[in-house]
Amino acid sequence: MHKRNRLFVSIALVYGLLGGLIAIIRLIDPSLIGGNVPRAHGHIMLLGFILMMIYGIALHVLPRFGGFPLYSEQMANWQLYCANAGLPLMIAGWLGWRDMLVMAGGVLTYGAIVLFGLNMILTVRTKGRTLPVQ
């Protein structure tokens, strides 16, 4: 498994634990963490935990299931950078009531989504490769 894909899964685990932790802290005492905690929690779990897990596993299996190598390793690397630059900015924006940070983070996160989507479309393709008959 490529190191980048293992990083995606590892980071997903960290986000999952972080997202759960801030929700628990808010449940115990809402005054302990300021900002829009429910929104931050929802996005940490969905974009951080679920989506990063899907990124890591899909980048590994879809080229194999599709029968073609990954279209661009560089796109996948930039997807990792954008996703992990975007989400912390969004979290900081919600917890600190800074809309500009949320917007900047959202753009970067969307960039990662587009990079992943295009890379997968160009990797899986509509027809599998036909193997020669032995």
Half-sphere exposure of 45 (CA within 13 A, CB side): 10
| Closest alpha carbon to 13 in 49, 38, 59, 67 | 49
CB of 15 to other proteins, least distance (A): 11
> Which CB atom, from 33 or from 45, has the smaller least distance to other proteins?
45
CB of 19 to other proteins, least distance (A): 9
- Cα separation, 97 vs 18, whole angstroms: 19
Residue type, 89: L
> Which CB atom, from 28 or from 131, has the smaller least distance to other proteins?
28
CB of 126 to other proteins, least distance (A): 25
> Which CB atom, from 15 or from 116, has the smaller least distance to other proteins?
15
| Closest alpha carbon to 89 in 79, 76, 99 | 99
Q: Which residues are near other proteins by CB under 8 A?
A: 1, 6, 9-10, 13, 16-17, 20-21, 23-24, 27-28, 45, 50, 53, 57, 60-61
- Cα separation, 119 vs 25, whole angstroms: 38
